[in-house]
Amino acid sequence: MATIYLYTFASVIAVSIISFVGIFTLSLREDLLRRYIFIFISVAVGALLGDALIHLIPEALESSANTTLTSILVIAGILFFFILEKFLHWHHHGEDKEKNHIHPVGKLVLFSDGIHNVMDGMIIAASFMVSPAIGIATTLAVILHEIPQEVGDFAVLLHAGYTKKRALWLNFLSALTAIFGAIIFFAMGEMAEKSATWFLPIAAGGFIYIAVADLIPELQKTKELKYSLLQILAVIAGVLAMVALTFIE
């Protein structure tokens, strides 16, 4: 159990550090960033779908006593994330423009991102509870979709009126709530291990929702053949990364 704790908290800390990707974006011109952020988004799509369909759902079905219930939980995960986004206006990949030049939007992004990161922490903890390989796959999927999200969130905070230093600091504090999510999961004690088989299909539904509802529509905005081919290759790379992890399970 100590190993599971170590892996989990090392992973959620790594996810939290991703919030400092905003530092890297400062060195890029805005037009260059907008032109190539689709590569991050494309890899994230492949990783999220790959983790959900290659790791989380098969693992949940294998340990499930009721496959119909497991399938319903996947749908419940999709609906749950849809409802959260509906009311909190999550920004997973952010290319928010004119409307986001006001402080309330910056605060909303921080609040919604904090809730999102709590969920990520619980998902990572549940995955490591099943196996180290599942935990690593989930952590990689989370990191890959966090990169474009954090770039977008950082941009929104700057537009909302925060200084670069304050935006980075607030974004990092919001990211640290992933650790809180892992603590909540483990605080459930014996219930944590039992709930992992319930939580995995819900998490899979959430990953599918993020990929299909949030990220793929962003990719559809690109019409040029060259960039479209790069998108497809990047999505395949994300999926292959998840396939490769099956060999260490």
Q: What is the pLDDT of residues 129-154, one digit of tens each?
A: 888 888 999 899 888 777 766 766 67
- Taken in order 22, 144, 38, 81, is the CA torsion positive or negative? negative
- Taken in order 118, 121, 126, 127, is the CA torsion positive or negative? positive
The model's confidence at residue 76, banded by pLDDT at 50, 70 and 90, is: very high
The per-residue pLDDT for 91 is 46
Tell me the residue type at 25: T
Residue of 236 and 115 predicted with greater confidence: 236
**First and final C-alpha spacing in the chain:** 18
Tokens 């941009």 correspond to 155
pTM above 0.75, yes or no: no
Mean pLDDT throughout 27-35? 61
**Rg from Cα positions in the chain:** 18
List the single range of 140-144, 154-158, 241-245 with lowest mean pLDDT. Answer: 154-158
Domain ranges of the chain: 2-19+31-248
Q: What is the pLDDT of residues 77-108, one digit of tens each?
A: 899 888 877 775 544 444 444 444 434 556 66
Mean pLDDT of the residues in the chain = 80
CB 181 within 8 A of CB 120: yes
Rounded CA separation 116/224 (Å): 32
Q: What is the pLDDT of residues 196-235, one digit of tens each?
A: 678 888 888 988 988 898 788 888 888 889 889 999 999 9
Rounded CA separation 3/98 (Å): 47
Count of C-beta atoms within a 10 Å radius of residue 77: 24
Residue of 56 and 249 predicted with greater confidence: 56
